[in-house]
Amino acid sequence: ASQKNAFVLFKASWCKVCQSIAPVFERLEETYATNLFLVVDIDQNEGTAVSQGVDAMPTFVAYKNGDKVDE
């Protein structure tokens, strides 16, 4: 997986914008199958969000070859 580009949506269940955008984001993998599109719920994975410096919802993070390249 580290050889693929990965795009991560950090969301929260209480965030209305997150709830609206998550289904659209998840469908991107259908069109761009060579990339990974992952959704992380910060309420269930707080440690992951903290380790990535996420402090606002929604947050999108891009990784290339396992390295964070943009937010």
From 6, 9, 18, 42, active-site residue: 18
Of the candidates 67, 3, 11, 69, the one whose C-alpha atom is nearest the C-alpha of residue 35 is 3
* Strand spans (E) along the chain: 6-11, 36-41, 59-64, 67-70
Q: Is the CB of residue 17 less than 8 Å from the CB of residue 57?
A: yes
From 15, 42, 49, 54, active-site residue: 15
* Strand duo 36-41 + 59-64: pairing: unpaired
Is residue 15 among the annotated active site residues? yes
Is residue 18 among the annotated active site residues? yes
Which residues are catalytic, by number? Answer: 15, 18
